[in-house]
Structure 1
Amino acid sequence: MSEIQKKSTARAPFNNPDHDIVLRSVDGVDFHNFKLILSLVSPIFKDMFTLPQHESEPAVPVIPVAEHSTILYPLLLLSYPASGADPTFGTIDDARAVVEAAQKYEMDAILYRIGDLIVAHFLLARPLDVYAISCLTGWKHHARTAASRSLEIEGLVRPNSGFAASGMGAINASDYQRLLTYHYECGIAAQAVGKALEWLPSTPEISGMQMWGCIGCGRVAIGRRAIQIASFGKWTVTPWFEEYLDASGKELAARPCERTLLESASYNRAIAKARECLFCRIVVVHHHLHTFRTFYIAEVRKAIEKVELAP
């Protein structure tokens, strides 16, 4: 036996001297456990323990398993009563392996808890991985959460060589199509928000905003469309604001999330264009546009939340 394969005992809580069963990982780590606990969480182990034991076998049976200790530890920790801590996963591949092990041993009671931990650990940085694992495992709620987070990925609907590396290569065409359709429909919904502004509150602050109240650049209405503003009716907006709505709408269609509006190049262009108008410049249009963007973001969020990921 090589140095790597020499036996050792797992860390707490799997070093209990009163154990009645040992699970030995593929890398030679012994996990002290109890038949009753394993039988309650896994019908596979329950059936295994009902097999007759030969007289030559040790008093405490040792069962070799195919999993590495880094996979076995979080799997068993989730099955252990009052362990006092949630396991962590070193990588998304480790997390995927824990899911596969839980499925192998039919540990249905802990599978969704593993999903919660995967979302907590990897959703922000690896939404496509979380989506793929969720689809393969049947976690509909987690798949929806991951799909929503993936809206922040620019160019998601274009061919992407990183998909296979992210685990997306393991899902079927239907799940892949669901994600792309969801992204497209969210883009359509988000882009539509800026085409009519009836969702703005009907307050004096809104009615007095410079974008549709400018006596300089806003007076030239020829060739420009009128836009519904709150409940005030259709008003002609300034050229720079109309351009902002059109440009930000296209940005949202490609990347339908609130970060798009916060990071939008069209926002800075609108500020620069507004400065070219004496009246827009002197009434602190920055404040008006910032206020509008706050409402804009909230309405885009509402529009996206109404889009369903197909079952």
Structure 2
Amino acid sequence: MSETQEISTAPAPFNNPDHDIVLRSVDAVDFHNFKLILSLVSPIFKDMFTLPQNESEPAVPIIPVTEPSTILYPLLLLSYPSASADPVFNSIDDARDLIATQFLPTYSLNIYAVSCLAGCQHHARIAAARSLEIKGLGRPSSGFAGMGAISAFDYHRLLKYHYECGIAAQAVGKSLEWLPSTPSINDMRMWRCHICRRVALDRPTIQIASFGKLTINPWFEEYLVASGRELAARPCELTILESVYYDRAIAKARDCLSCRVAVHHDLATFRNFYITEVKKAIAKVILLIMINSNLT
């Protein structure tokens, strides 16, 4: 939203003066709503409203959202108790956008199929990126209802995209030259522990930022290799956040008198950089979407 954009208020039922929360669309339309209603229909809002409110925040919070008002209005109307009419769309494109917004988190493959069939390249790419959260996509168990509506070539492109993203994500952990060359990175226990280095003298080295090739601790090497395998099958941020090998690495690091002092801080810091770099690597993989000639 532009700073000079004039803010307006949405039509009924989202203009109630007794509201306790405002959702501001990307095109500067304020939707007056109620925390209770939003918390009942959205677990995201429910969790958000349980957080303590900062004293400096306004009495009625304003939450910016990425959807335009043409999408936000019918989306909110679907779950609004006082709405007496069905949502009305200004165009087929708006209806498509609403469907993608509502069902993408759970039905990414179906949204991909519908988007390919309709020639919606933008939504197809978004759905394909979300499908990276599906582990081992391409196995027979990954079939979905919309598969019959698209060509084998469309599905092949999706599998190829998933595979190439897995290769790119796994490669991130094979060299850590992307880490920032700061003193705190240089001093991390994963490659500076004097106790572990005595044990790991004959182990392979890996590039760390611009500090050269350094010998990494066995517990950290195991974490990099294991998380890389996981990313090859499920190349997304959630894989790193949910990896059981993260806790295993911490548990093994505690066996070292030196590593145990800083392992929680160092590994958490590394994981944040790791996630960012994996997302960058995945973003470089291009999914080619062909417009369905039957619809033109």
So what's the TM-score if we normalise by structure 2?
0.67
1:302 paired to 2:280: yes
What is residue 204 of structure 2 aligned with on the other side? 225
Matching residue of 1:41: none
CA deviations over 1:8-42 (Å, ceiling 9, x no partner)? xxxxxxxxxxxxxxxxxxxxxxxxxxxxxxxxxxx
In the TM superposition, what are the counterparts of 1:1-311 in structure 2 within 5 Å?
86-87=73-74, 110-160=91-141, 165-281=144-260, 283-311=261-289
The structure with higher relative contact order (CA 8 Å, sep 6+) is 2
Q: Could you tell me which amino acid in structure 2 is paired with residue 142 of structure 1?
A: H
Equivalent residues, number: 211
| Secondary structure in 2 matching 1:227 | strand
Output the amino acid matched with 2:285: V
Question: Deviations along 1:144-175, whole A, 9 cap, x unmatched?
Answer: 00000000112212112xx5543122211000
1:265 to 1:83, Cα distance in 2 relative to 1, 3 A? closer
- List alignment gaps of at least 5 residues for structure 1: 1-81, 92-101, 103-108
Tell me the CA shift for residue 231 of structure 1. Answer: 0.5
User: How far apart in 1 are the matches of 2:264 and 2:256?
Assistant: 13
Deviation at 1:126, TM superposition (A): 0.9
Q: Give the letter for the 2:219 counterpart.
A: W
Superposition deviation, residue 87 in structure 1: 3.6
Other structure's SS at 1:277 match: coil
Structure 1 or 2, whichever has the larger Rg, is 1
Q: 8 Å contact 1:164–1:170 — kept in the other structure?
A: no
Gaps of 5+ in 2: 1-68, 79-88, 290-296
Superposition TM-score, scaled by structure 1 size: 0.64
- What is the rounded CA distance, in whole Å, between the counterparts of 2:109 and 2:77 in structure 1? 17
Q: Which amino acid aligns with 1:297?
A: I
Name segments (4+ residues, structure 1) moved above 6 Å. 82-85
3-state DSSP of counterpart to 1:235:
strand
CA contact (8 A) 1:218 1:236 kept: yes
User: Matched residue of 2:214: which SS?
Assistant: strand
